[in-house]
Amino acid sequence: MLEQARGMELPVRYLVRGLDFKHSNRFDQAFADNGVSVEPTAPRAPNQNAFIERWIGSIRGECLNRFIVFDLGHLDHLVASYLDYYHQARPHQRKENKPLLGVWPEVDDPPEKGEEIVCRKWLGGVLKHYERKAA
């Protein structure tokens, strides 16, 4: 994980991990030797990782379960495309079903009769978003 983050030039300061027994002292020490602070989650706190677990559930259910991933490059492409969709078009309940970053019209009027609706597609149509055609 650390090598991949460095390859993408991401500064790594913390690693938040669960209390699973698969994380040995050697695992923690490998990160500590590289200046990364390893922070285990609190015991009996299942909601501490709720946001990341929800995101992982979203990308698995909406994207990864529909593909056979052949290599790391293919996985990177799938995740990058999903992130584009997730930020630009996917409705988020906490934001009144608006996307995180995309431009969203404030108009609540239904489309006029005959007004064209266009479909934006990601990953060959696995992910779709419908919107009014720009004037």
- List pLDDT tens digits, range 66-113: 999 999 999 999 999 998 888 878 877 667 667 777 666 666 666 677
- CA pair distance 25, 54, nearest whole angstrom: 28
pTM of the model: 0.61
End-to-end CA, the chain: 45
Please give the single-letter amino acid code of residue 118.
Answer: V
Strand pairing of 14-17 and 37-40?
parallel
Q: Is the pLDDT of residue 35 over 90?
A: no
What percent of the chain stands above pLDDT 70? Answer: 80
Q: 132 and 111 in contact (C-beta within 8 Å)?
A: yes
E strands in 21-78:
37-40
Residue 8: the pLDDT is 64
